[in-house]
């Protein structure tokens, strides 16, 4: 295509703004028209760093904000908010940002009389305050669990948010309402109140946020399963869970660590690939123009530019919703040849979530590739090599050069300071080498497994969030139901992290059962994810 040649030529010939606008009109704002934009296309094409897009940190917002800008200025704002909360003033402060309520509550090391008065005021008001305020005050109350009084307070605060959202339906879209309902449902399960849990999770199951809605179907099924009169309801909820996340950790847990899709891996089936997209029965000019550019770039070996054109999939996975499953599989071939594993994983994940019949041996081995298994096998002593492979897939998508914005580097996304605790003098540059990174990362993870007496789920949570935080969560949520504990983890990133690696490990073990060469205990002993078999 002329558009591609305009970009790939050595002088990167630029066309006029008129031609750019003509392209946009002709192809319905097609993404490849970026090559015609004189002013800003170079900065767009060269500014993005693929290594920043890791599966561990895909841009998801945690319930607990991690960073703030302009810290000195912002600290004063947070101090003012904390002062207002102490006095019972719930009006937002000037220049207050999202997440500042959380930061203000961090100023309180105890559940003070001021916080108790604030909760009484918020619960007693007929009018509804900001859902963010209720949400973070409820989560602050949780930090003082297992106090029964604090459990009651948190439950009431989350219930208030639920009632406010029922009175004002527009609030239901708020992520703070979603999180408050999620935690209310879990706390209700914890208190054996399945009636309340089912009502709350029913609302949450209809939410757009799949992180909450898929879990909502699991807990609805969990509650119905224990009631002999609700077996039809149990099966209905399980079917919805399976449709929403057929490969997922919660789906596996509902099957006691098994999957009905395992048999698909034994069938010699290759899914149908579709080369062009359609819209309302006709060819989709915009998307097909984009696919045409990918074909030309792929043919010319311009893998770097292919990765750039796949950026919308990384930045906004919902972009894939406009494409038929067969077209997505076709796009996955470009991502595979460009060695863009993150785009590859996200494309295939979107296919599997809606088309479980595409779960076959060939597609699953693209989704779960094996890399560096020889190094991993030589280094593990306490854990099965597939667990480390599952962890590496989640941390870096097997990209040796991966680095995060917070400074974690390499295959196992090690912080240099943590790595130096394991091996004195190791440099950041050395951590980009596969063998060095794996050797240190495995040693660190196995140390965590030993610390948690063989509990791989707690060790994974500690690898992601830190052992000190996990120790606090253990004290806060003492319970036998491991999956309930994992879902109660306050950091969305960490609870998703553990669930995804558990899922990965299950499928690696199914796909490559005959690949391990070693005969040691670590190689021959499968790891037990308690949440899957309880």
> Which residues are known catalytic residues?
395
DSSP string, 410-451: TTTTB-HHHHHHHSTT--TTGGGSHHHHHHHHHHHHHHHHHH
The interaxial angle of helices 175-190 and 194-205, nearest 10 deg, is 150
Q: Which two tokens stand for residue 14?
A: 């630029």
CA distance 181 to 525: 39
Contact (Cβ atoms closer than 8 angstroms) between residue 323 and residue 287? yes
Taking residue 267's Cβ as centre, other Cβ atoms within 10 Å add up to: 8
CB 56 within 8 A of CB 461: no
Burial 129-150 (b: 16+ CB within 10 A, else e): bbbbbbbbbbbbbbbbbeeeeb
Token duo for residue 75 = 């600290």
Return the C-alpha torsion angle 127, 133, 135, 140, nearest 10.
-130
**SS3 of residue 404 by DSSP:** coil
The Cα 164–Cα 133 span in angstroms is: 13
Measure the CA–CA gap between 395 and 205, rounded to whole angstroms: 28
DSSP assignment string, 25-85: HHTTS-GGGGGG-TTTHHHHHHH--GGG--SSSSSPPPSS----SSHHHHHHHHHHHHHHH
Angle among Cα 96, 101, 102 to the nearest 5 degrees reads 130
Greatest Cα pair distance in the chain: 73
**SS3 of residue 492 by DSSP:** helix
Helix (H) or strand (E) holding 116: helix 113-124
Q: Considering Cα of 233, then 239, then 240, then 242, what sign does the dihedral take?
A: positive
- Is the Cβ–Cβ distance between 365 and 505 less than 8 Å? no
Alpha helices in 248-372 (DSSP H): 249-254, 285-299, 303-309, 311-315, 325-337, 341-354, 361-367
Closest to 342 (Cα-Cα) out of 41, 57, 34, 42: 57
């Amino acid at each position: 295509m002329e558009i591609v040649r305009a970009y790939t030529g050595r002088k990167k010939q630029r066309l006029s703004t008129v031609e750019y606008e003509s392209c946009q009109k002709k192809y319905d704002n097609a993404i490849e028209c970026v090559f015609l934009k004189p002013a800003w296309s170079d900065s767009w094409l060269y500014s993005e760093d693929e290594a920043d897009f890791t599966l561990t940190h895909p841009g998801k917002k945690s319930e607990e904000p991690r960073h703030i800008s302009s810290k000195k200025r912002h600290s004063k704002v947070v101090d003012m908010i904390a002062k207002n909360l102490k006095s019972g003033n719930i009006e937002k402060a000037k220049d207050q940002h999202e997440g500042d309520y959380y930061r203000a509550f961090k100023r309180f090391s105890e559940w003070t009389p001021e916080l108790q008065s604030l909760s009484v005021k918020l619960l007693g008001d007929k009018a509804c305050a900001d859902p963010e305020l209720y949400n973070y005050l409820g989560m602050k109350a949780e930090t003082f669990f297992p106090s029964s009084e604090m459990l009651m307070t948190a439950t009431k605060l989350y219930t208030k948010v639920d009632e406010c959202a029922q009175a004002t339906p527009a609030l239901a879209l708020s992520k703070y309402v979603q999180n408050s309902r999620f935690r209310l449902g879990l706390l209700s399960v914890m208190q054996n109140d399945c009636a309340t849990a089912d009502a709350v999770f029913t609302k949450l199951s209809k939410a757009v946020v799949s992180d909450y809605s898929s879990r909502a179907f699991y807990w609805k099924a969990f509650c119905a399963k224990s009631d002999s009169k609700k077996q039809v309801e149990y099966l209905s909820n399980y079917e919805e869970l399976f449709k929403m996340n057929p490969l997922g950790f919660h789906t596996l847990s509902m099957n006691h660590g098994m999957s009905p899709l395992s048999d698909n891996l034994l069938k010699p089936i290759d899914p149908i690939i579709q080369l062009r997209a359609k819209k309302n029965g006709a060819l989709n000019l915009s998307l097909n123009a984009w696919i045409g550019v990918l074909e030309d770039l792929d043919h010319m070996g311009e893998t770097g530019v292919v990765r750039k054109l796949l950026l919308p999939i990384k930045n906004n996975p919902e972009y894939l919703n406009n494409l038929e499953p067969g077209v997505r599989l076709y796009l996955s071939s470009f991502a595979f040849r460009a060695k863009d594993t993150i785009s590859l994983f996200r494309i295939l994940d979107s296919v599997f979530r809606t088309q479980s019949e595409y779960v076959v041996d060939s597609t699953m081995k693209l989704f779960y590739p094996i890399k560096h298994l020889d190094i991993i096998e030589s280094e593990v002593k306490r854990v099965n090599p597939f667990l480390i492979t599952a962890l590496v897939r989640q941390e870096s998508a097997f990209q040796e050069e991966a680095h995060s914005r917070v400074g974690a580097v390499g295959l196992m996304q090690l912080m240099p300071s943590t790595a130096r605790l394991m091996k004195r003098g190791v440099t950041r540059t050395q951590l980009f080498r596969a063998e060095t990174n794996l050797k240190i990362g495995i040693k660190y993870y196995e140390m965590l497994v030993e610390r948690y007496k063989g509990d791989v789920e707690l060790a994974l949570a500690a690898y992601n969030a830190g052992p000190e935080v996990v120790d606090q969560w253990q004290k806060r949520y003492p319970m036998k139901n491991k999956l309930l504990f994992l879902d109660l983890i306050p950091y969305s990133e960490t609870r998703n992290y553990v669930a995804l690696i558990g899922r990965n490990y299950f499928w690696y073990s199914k796909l490559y059962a005959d690949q391990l060469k070693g005969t040691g205990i670590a190689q021959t002993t499968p790891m037990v994810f308690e949440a899957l078999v309880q």
